[in-house]
Amino acid sequence: MPTFHHDLRLGRFIPPLSFGPRTVALARRLPVRTPPAPDDVEISDVTAPGVSLRLHRPRSLRGTAPALLWSHGGGYLVGSPEQDEAGSVAFACELGITVAAIRYRLAPEHPAPAAVEDAHAALRWLADQPGVDPERIAIGGASAGGGLTAALAQCAHDRAAVRPAFQLLVYPMLDDRTVLRTDVDTRGVRVWTPRSNRYGWTSYLGREPGSADVPPYAAPARRSDLAGLPPAWIGVGTLDLFHDEDLAYADRLEAAGVPCERHVVPGAFHGFDALFADRPVARAFRAEQVRVLRAALFT
């Protein structure tokens, strides 16, 4: 049995539940509890051309400042900006920036490239906002949101309207071809299972994963030319189903001349930082994200 990080030993008892039509329908009906908004952060929902966002901005912020465009996780099937409210508020407060969380369209009702188009519309809108420095916009996300962030980095590079300064990829969902692998040790895999991965990719692609062709920007790892993309940070645990595809993408970014810092957490599974947010390993993982964002946006 794989060894779990000592802060995450209770993760051994997480049941191997997988997403399918019924579990997705149930998950979408569950209410999302958001923490009370702190007095020093203004939170608002806005509708931009083609997409809606949830904004988090310190009330003390004056003048032009950097921003973070954030994409939530959920396998492209479920989720909303509200699920990451605590993290968005923390980024806004700790860094002194605007955090805009995207409410992108979900699969299977809206397959690729719907989410990427939403993300690009959000990026262009954010860059035009007063108080946001368009030269200092980072993009980030976790799980499917991390994959969407990587896809947005590619899309923004190609369209050249707005160029993000940095991409923060938290255990990103990058490669549909992982579903074809039979050599992955899944005994320590938690939260996002191989079965969920197949259903998520099938729903998002609108076809069986691993096929010869996929929609534009749907699977970022499929892109052959990674040169010219923004500097990146990739964080993932050794027990995460995405571990191998994430590190392979980091290798390819570096080979293409793109600076990429990687942060690998031994014995950590998918979503560990959300399920065990109070544990030291999760706090350290979060602190690394704050550190790299500060370096990217303020130096």
Are 48 and 81 within 8 A, CB to CB? no
157 among known catalytic residues:
no
Q: Which residue in 5, 120, 243, 270 is the catalytic one? A: 270
Structure tokens at 141: 């996300």
120 among known catalytic residues:
no
How far is residue 201 from each of residues 91, 103, 107, measured CA to CA in Å? 29, 19, 9
Residues 6+ apart with CB under 8 A from 77: 19, 24, 27, 106, 107, 108, 144, 199, 200, 203, 204
Residues 6+ apart with CB under 8 A from 243: 236, 237, 264
- Can you tell me the distance from the alpha carbon of 165 to that of 297, in angstroms, rounded to the nearest whole number? 7
Helix 114-127 with 144-159: angle, nearest 10 deg: 60
Instruction: Tell which residue, 183, 185, 208, has the closest CA to residue 197.
Output: 208
Q: Which residue in 143, 196, 203, 243 is the catalytic one? A: 143
Q: Which residue in 240, 243, 246, 273 is the catalytic one? A: 240
Amino acid (1-letter code) at residue 88: S
143 among known catalytic residues:
yes
How far is residue 232 from each of residues 142, 250, 254, 273, measured CA to CA in Å? 13, 8, 10, 20
Q: Which residues are catalytic?
A: 143, 240, 270
